[in-house]
Structure 1
Amino acid sequence: MAREVRITVDDDEVFERMKRRKQELDLSWEEVLHRGLRPPETPPEPDPEPFWNEGGWSSGHSPRPDHSPGPQHPSASGREDEPLGDVVDEFRRQVKDQVTNSLRASMQGMQEANEELEREMGALAEAEDATLTFSGLDDPEHTVPLRVNQRTSRAGLEVDVVAVRQGKGVRGANQFDRSARQQLNTSLARGEPATLRFEDGSDAETYRVYPVLSWGKDDGGQPTVTDVEIDEVVLDDE
């Protein structure tokens, strides 16, 4: 059922959004394993306390008094008498615990990221196609293709932009040179509205809107609109 909904969205556009989202994930499997195998940090040993000898106070470990017992037998040290196999098993258990804990934390982060991605894809699939055009810029490359949602109430019409569309289906749009962007920026700053157009074959629906544009650069270094907010929709009967 989810696929039947999403098929209304340009598959290339969905792929591009998923690819960008995947690149934003903080952890890869290699990083997870690296973190899991990294030994835990141990606190530094405290500085040895000073001691008194015939020459005055000295730092470092105090010399063992003559009456102290000799070196302890290995069996008294607690671990030195353990079989080598037990030491190896303990080391393996510690490594396994580190990897397991790291994987568990990382999988939780990946699950949260995937859930957010699912929400974004769902919002993208449920939105409508629209184009934003500007007065004095009639070339097709100066249109900005969008996916939007509409909300209507007594207060008027609100338009939420879900995404600036990308992909093969809209290739050639949203391409500006420096002079075209300057003309557009000047026009919007003077309060001139843009046109938001919904079109399905011969059936068209248009509104005058006041947009807020965010700019970036395309692969060729030319200006392109990266984000759009519709600040106000002007209905014809107002």
Structure 2
Amino acid sequence: MMTIFSPNCSSSIHAPAEFYAPYADEMLSVARTTCGFQSRDVLRRIVSGEQQRIKEEQMLWRVGGALLGAAFGFSDGFELTDLFVGMAGGSIGGLAHDVMSNHDRRFLEQCQALWLVGAHSPLELAQRLGPARSRILLFDSSWQSPVIFNHHRGSRGDHLVPLGNARNLANGFADERSLEVLNRYFDASELETLEAQLYPIADQVVSVQSLSSLSNSDALAKDLYAQSFMRKSQPVMIQVSGSEVVGYQIPIPATSDF
């Protein structure tokens, strides 16, 4: 696990040129332009597709049941009733892992989509920690590159959640059955886009005592690497358990959920 709060401090107002964070420009661009994993859109498509698939299967069962019923002399035939088809599309955005109905949970389990709203998913984190307000870049000299965090604010206070690549973090890409469902409703190009989106590293959530804006001059005085970031971001001071670190705040893209 990375050690996040070990800030580099300098008494000099202007850091030497050699104190430049590697890949700073690239990570600033990623933070500014890359969408977070679009769980709601993925969930809507899977639920809609699975509902349609189940209805089509029901129709086949009804036709087959009618034929069997006629063959055996039953006037009503045989009919398969699926309780899951009634899942309301409008309820998708409000699903939470700990409050969803057994009906919805069974449906999502059946179509291998529970990971989209389950523990440590983007939707569950937003439910538990509050919505993401911004993105923040942090850098330490022991790291190979800056790390992008989501800044969440809710009833439990402020939290920072590091972000990584969805391909490596989202359970749906690691589980064979879930991936089969994704391949059913998304083409290769769409899956590639989803894999490249940002996804929370939920086991490294950090509780923050305070987060406040910082002037450029103060950032330069406190962080040797400030020049790498502050032209394209807003410096902020972050306090955690008595420690302070300078971060660099960027708005979440308008097209992104988090």
Q: TM-score, normalised by structure 1?
A: 0.28
Which has more radius of gyration?
1
Structure (1 or 2) with the greater helix fraction: 2
- The higher-RCO structure (CA 8 Å, 6+ apart) is 2
Q: TM-score, normalised by structure 2?
A: 0.26
